[in-house]
């Protein structure tokens, strides 16, 4: 992984969940339970059908919310407030990651399919509060989710980010396709690689990977 592959980067974009904290924290176990409960209550479905629909919408649209909005006219605010009302006890501060992030040259941003308010709570629990120059949530993309190209276009335009001078770190491989097309250097952050033409690099240890760039 040549250091010079990132020498041009002046904007560093990070996904949040399972990227800036390890998947072993299992926050999404809590979120998925609350998603299924919301679908049950909103659509009058039993648990099995609500869970099936939750997963179907995630696979089809990128988020369960996107499917609920498109197919059922669900308002995003109550849904997002409900599903992100979780415990952060499983998260621990990561001083090594904080140090590597602060050392990156240029602008550091978070872009998540969750809300910016939720992201700020996660960052605080990880000891990463104040590390980033901006935090963008799904609301900043008009509730369009990654991996939609229009979602990236909206957030990157809002930030003034230039793709040819940026890199994106993300745990979901499909969410790196649009950044790659926009000229970003792409890094898949996950326990196992998922080789694809739109993925330049893989790491299972974000702090160590960043240290190799400095």
User: How many domains in the chain?
Assistant: 2
pLDDT band of 214, cuts 50, 70, 90: confident
180: CATH: 3.40.50.1000
Co-location of 60 and 131 in the same domain: no
Co-location of 147 and 167 in the same domain: yes
In the predicted structure, residue 1 carries a pLDDT above the cut 70: no
Co-location of 97 and 151 in the same domain: yes
48: CATH: 1.10.150.450
Domain of 43?
A: 27-83
Per-residue DSSP letters for the chain? --GGGGTT--EEEE--TTTSS-GGG-HHHHHHHHHHHHHHHHHT--HHHHHHHHHHHHHHHSSHHHHHHHHH---HHHHHHHHT----TT----HHHHHHHHHSSSEEEEE-SS-HHHHHHHHHHTT-TT--SEEE-GGGGTTPPTT-HHHHHHHHHHHT--GGGEEEEESSGGGGHHHHHTT-EEEEESSS----TT--EEES-HHHHHHTT-
Co-location of 60 and 138 in the same domain: no
Co-location of 107 and 197 in the same domain: yes
- What are the tens digits of pLDDT across the range 29-62? 999 999 999 999 999 999 999 999 999 999 999 8
* Domain stops at, among 39, 62, 83: 83
- What are the tens digits of pLDDT across the range 72-81? 999 999 999 9
Co-location of 10 and 74 in the same domain: no
């Amino acid at each position: 992984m040549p250091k010079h592959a990132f020498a041009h980067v002046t904007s560093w974009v990070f996904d949040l969940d399972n990227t800036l904290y390890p998947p072993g924290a299992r926050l999404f176990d809590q979120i998925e339970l609350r998603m299924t409960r919301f679908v049950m209550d909103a659509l009058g479905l039993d648990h099995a059908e609500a869970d099936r629909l939750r997963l179907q919408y995630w696979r089809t649209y990128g988020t369960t919310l996107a499917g609920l909005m498109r197919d059922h006219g669900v308002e995003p605010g109550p849904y997002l407030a409900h599903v992100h009302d979780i415990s952060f006890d499983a998260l621990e501060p990561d001083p090594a990651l904080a140090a590597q992030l602060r050392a990156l040259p240029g602008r550091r941003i978070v872009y998540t399919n969750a809300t910016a308010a939720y992201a700020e709570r996660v960052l605080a629990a990880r000891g990463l509060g104040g590390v980033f120059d901006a935090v963008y949530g799904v609301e900043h993309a008009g509730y369009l989710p990654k991996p939609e190209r229009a979602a990236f276009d909206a957030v990157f335009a809002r930030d003034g980010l230039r793709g040819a001078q940026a890199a994106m770190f993300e745990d979901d491989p499909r969410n790196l396709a649009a950044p790659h097309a926009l000229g970003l250097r792409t890094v898949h952050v996950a326990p196992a690689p998922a080789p694809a033409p739109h993925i330049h690099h893989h790491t299972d240890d974000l702090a160590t990977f960043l240290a190799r760039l400095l």
